[in-house]
Amino acid sequence: MEKWRAADRLLKFSSRFASAVNWNNSCKSKQGKYFYSVATTVHRNPLFSSISPDDISYFKTILGERGVVQDALALDAANTDWMGKYRGSSKLLLQPKNTEEVSQILKYCNSRCLAVVPQGGNTGLVGGSVPVFDEVIINVGLMRNILSFDKVIVSGVLVCEAGCILENLISFLDDEGFIMPLDLGAKGSCQIGGNVSTNAGGLRLLRYGSLHGSVLGLEAVLANGTVLDMLGTLRKDNTGYDLKHLFIGSEGSLGIVTKVSILTPPKLSSVNIAFLACEDYTSCQKLLLEAKKKLGGILSAFEFLDSDAMSLVLKHLDGVRNPLPPSIHNFYILIETTGSNETFDKENLEAFLLHSVESGLVANGVLAQDINQASSFWHIREGLPEALMKAGAVYKYDLSLPLEKMYDLVEEMRVQIGPAAKVVAYGHLGDGNLHLNISAPAYDDNILAKIEPFVYEWTSKNRGSISAEHGLGLMKAAKIHYSKSPETVRLMIDFDYCVFELLPDTSCLDDNHSIICLCLSA
Ligand code: MLT
Ligand code: ZN
């Protein structure tokens, strides 16, 4: 099924490739990359070098003329994130074609104390994929070969380079009778290396789990150029630490992922989608519990949006119609089932829906009758980021919260903000993941002051996570203490230094023991 076509157009210029990294071993203890909220000012550490003509010549000897990009238009796109919220001033974009070139680039940058930022499709939402200052951008988009796909013994193991676009992998596997265990609205632009580096979640996590489960191995290049071959394809391997997990979700802070091996499930023939309306949040929660009980093994997505989210999509996305007219309901739920028995699966979902209506959990609902209707339902949910962008400025928060508390935050935020902005909520309810968006006509420090630190404190108090799936990036690295204990943060820093072969330097802890230079460089 084609999803998020419209969104893909917008996402074309962005990336999810992790990292918010300025690295360089030899400068690590002296310079951190400071992560901040939008209003915070950060300063470039002068200990990092600036690009010289000799550097450019050297890179050309490694990559050829085409791999060394200095064109203003291309640099502008690579310096700016998808939301237009984070903007760097890099003068150099490097496009390696293989692991060896990545290794040579990093080795050289390390020796010259040049800060780098890895970049993939640039679809990230937390300012992790673009430079903050003049870092060298390393974009792995030319590394897009599928290296192998093993379906002979029905193993479904795909091995590919980091720059493969997720949608291309989905199409490739579709022809082979398999699917990616990962699906995102940004699939038309995001790259698998970035997905892995950020541990991207998305729409199928409910069914197939996180990438920590499906990534079997990876290859990564460290800041000093060392290539770590962890590209195993085995389901089981208990020989020592499973270090690949440190690269999944570390946002490029430990190295650049260059290859990935991933376990892909077989494609199942029967997919059904229902779009439902609930009048209160308690009904949404109960419906989820019922869906888990009654649809069990075939449940593949359970997404929600509230009435403000629906109004926004109807207003800003071309061609979208209210699937349950005439009025707008308080909440909407999108349920997808995926199984192998068409008759049974459909009957099962229909019986579930009937029971949900009779018991009063669902106020209204519709089952997609064909692929077009199914796509139009998905488009409503997946089109939300695009609709928010079209509506003006957006403050995005991606939170994991206990299910029963999740919507309390939305309501409290509405009281907190008042009429100055709209609070729009949607997300992966089945995974306890709320996307809380504050939509305003323009970015405004007064609005931000009402949102932060309130949103982080609330989340922390309720033992949630301030980043469910988007990562820390530039936006939230300094906020990590809201979700992780000082001891845990300390160990992360020690580990980071260990990878960079340096002794820990406590100067990178601020007064709250938060990380201010976790994902950095050197
Ligand atoms: C989504 O689920 O739509 C994405 O994570 C993007 C977003 O949060 O807006
Ligand atoms: Zn999401």
Angle between helices 53-63 and 99-112 (to 10 degrees): 160
Residues ≥6 apart with Cβ < 8 Å to 52:
none
* Confidence band of 283 (pLDDT split at 50, 70, 90): very high
Give me the mean pLDDT over the 326-350 stretch: 97
* Least confident span in 10-14, 168-172, 179-183, 337-341: 10-14
Distance (Å, rounded) from C-alpha 217 to C-alpha 92?
Answer: 31
Question: What confidence score (pLDDT) does residue 508 get?
Answer: 37
Please give the pLDDT value at position 12: 24
Q: Work out which ligand 1 atom sits closest to the CA atom of 398.
A: 8
Between the two ends of the chain, the Cα-to-Cα distance in Å is: 43
- Percent above pLDDT 70 for the chain: 88
Which ligand has the shortest distance to the CA of 381?
1
How many Å lie between the centroid of ligand 2 and the Cα of residue 494? 30
394: which residues sit within 8 A by CB, 6+ positions away?
83, 388, 437, 438, 439, 440
Q: Tell me the CA–centroid distance for residue 186 and ligand 1, in Å.
A: 9
The model carries a pTM of 0.90
pLDDT tops 80 at residue 22? no
Does 65 score more than 60 pLDDT?
yes
d(CA 11, ligand 1 centre) in Å: 12
Q: Find the range with the poorest average confidence among 8-12, 55-59, 210-214, 310-314.
A: 8-12
pLDDT of residue 153: 66
Q: Which of 144-158, 240-254, 445-459 has the lowest mean pLDDT?
A: 144-158
Burial class of 375 by CB neighbour count within 10 A (0 to 12, 13 to 18, 19+): middle
> What pLDDT is stored for residue 41 in this prediction?
66
What's the whole-number mean pLDDT along residues 217-240? Answer: 96
Q: Which has the minimum average pLDDT: 62-66, 95-99, 185-189, 506-510?
A: 506-510
Model pLDDT, residue 499: 81
Q: What's the pLDDT score for residue 501? A: 64
If you measure from the C-alpha of residue 469 to the centroid of ligand 2, how many angstroms do you get, rounded to a whole number? 7
Q: Residue 16 has what pLDDT?
A: 25
What is the rounded radius of gyration, in angstroms, for the C-alpha atoms of the chain?
23
The pocket around ligand 1, CB under 6 angstroms, is made up of 185, 384-385, 398, 435
Which of 386, 398, 399, 437 should be mutated for ligand 1, with most atoms under 8 A from CB? Answer: 398
pLDDT at 323 over 70: yes
Say which ligand is closest to the CA of 424: 1
Q: Which atom of ligand 1 is nearest to the CA of 470?
A: 5
- What proportions of the chain, in percent to the nearest 5, are helix, strand and coil? 40, 20, 40
Q: Which atom of ligand 1 is nearest to the CA of 385?
A: 9
Q: What is the mean pLDDT of residues 375-382?
A: 97
Nearest Cα residue to 457 out of 413, 493, 519, 491 = 413
Mean per-residue pLDDT, 343-350: 96
Cβ contact 329:364 at 8 Å: yes
> 131 C-alpha vs ligand 1 centroid, how far in Å?
22
At residue 362, the pLDDT reads: 98
Q: Which residue has the higher pLDDT, 30 or 330?
A: 330
Which ligand ends up closest to the CA of 397?
1
Pairing of the two strands 116-119 and 393-400: unpaired
pLDDT of residue 502: 54
Compute the distance from residue 506 Cα to the ligand 1 centre, in Å: 35
SS3 per residue for 2-66:
CCCHHHHHHHCCCECCCCCCCCCHHHCCCCCCCCCCCCCCCCCCCCCCCCCHHHHHHHHHHHCHH
Distance separating alpha carbons of residues 210 and 394, to the nearest angstrom: 27
Using DSSP's 3-state secondary structure scheme, residue 419 falls into helix
When pLDDT is averaged across residues 271-276 and rounded to a whole number, the result is 98
> In ligand 1, which atom is closest to the CA atom of 382?
3
Q: Whose CA is nearest to atom 8 of ligand 1?
A: 435
Residue among 187, 306, 380, 384 whose CB has most ligand 1 atoms within 8 A, to mutate: 384
C-alpha of residue 103 to centroid of ligand 1, in Å: 33
Task: Report the atom number in ligand 1 closest to the C-alpha of 203.
Answer: 2
**Is 70 exceeded by the pLDDT of residue 132?**
yes
| pLDDT tens-digit series, residues 70-83 | 999 999 999 999 99
Q: Whose CA is closest to atom 6 on ligand 1? A: 385
Cα-to-centroid distance, 129 and ligand 1 (Å): 16
**d(CA 308, ligand 1 centre) in Å:** 15
Instruction: Provide the pLDDT confidence category of residue 517 given band limits of 50, 70 and 90.
Output: very low
**Per-residue pLDDT averaged across 172-196, rounded?**
97
Smallest CA-to-CA distance from 316 within 385, 248, 260, 377 is with 385
Whole-number percent of the chain with pLDDT over 90: 84
Average pLDDT (331-355) is 97
pLDDT digits (tens, 9 = 90+) for 443-479: 999 999 999 999 999 999 999 999 999 999 999 999 9
The minimum-distance atom of ligand 1 relative to the CA of 303 is 2
For residue range 208-220, list pLDDT tens digits in order: 999 999 999 999 9
Q: What is the pLDDT of residue 494?
A: 87
CA-201 nearest atom, ligand 1:
5
**Which segment of 48-57, 249-258, 332-341, 510-519 scores lowest on mean pLDDT?**
510-519
Residue 324, amino acid: L
Structure confidence at residue 105 (pLDDT): 98
Q: Ligand 1 atom 7: the closest Cα is on which residue? A: 385
Q: Which residue's C-alpha comes closest to atom 9 of ligand 1?
A: 385
C-alpha–C-alpha distance, residues 115 and 301, integer Å: 40
Ligand approaching nearest to the C-alpha of 431: 2
Tens digits of residue pLDDT in 292-307: 999 989 999 999 999 9
Strand order in the sheet with 299-306: 364-367, 270-278, 331-339, 299-306, 422-428, 433-440, 393-400
CA–centroid distance, 208 to ligand 2, in Å, is 15
Interval 321-328 mean pLDDT: 96
Predicted local distance difference test score (pLDDT) of residue 391? 97
Pocket test for ligand 1, best of 382, 428, 435 (most atoms within 8 A of CB): 435
Residue 156 pLDDT grade (very low, low, confident, very high; cuts 50, 70, 90): very high
C-alpha 114 to ligand 2 mean position (Å): 34
Using CA atoms, how far residue 20 sits from 165, 229, 250, in Å, is 20, 23, 9
Q: Say which ligand is closest to the CA of 16.
A: 1
- Nearest ligand 1 atom, CA 435: 8
Least-confidence region, from 26-30, 396-400, 455-459:
26-30
Distance from C-alpha of 328 to C-alpha of 339, rounded to nearest angstrom: 31
For ligand 1, what atom is nearest to the CA of residue 202? 2
CA 65 from centroid of its chain's CA atoms: 32
Write a three-state SS string for 178-190.
ECCCCCCCCCCCC
User: Ligand 1 centroid to 194 CA: how many Å?
Assistant: 15
Q: 7-16, 196-205, 504-513 — which one is most confidently predicted on average? A: 196-205
Token pair in block for residue 251: 């946002």
Helix (H) or strand (E) holding 331: strand 331-339
Give the mean pLDDT of the chain: 89
Average pLDDT over residues 159-184: 97
C-alpha of residue 3 to centroid of ligand 2, in Å: 14
For residues 499 and 493, give the distance between their C-alpha atoms in angstroms, rounded to a whole number.
10
Where in 386-432 does DSSP place strands (E)?
Answer: 393-400, 422-428
- Specify whether the CB–CB gap between 17 and 196 falls below 8 A: no
Q: Which residue has the tokens 């939305």?
A: 410
Tokens coding 166: 């997720």
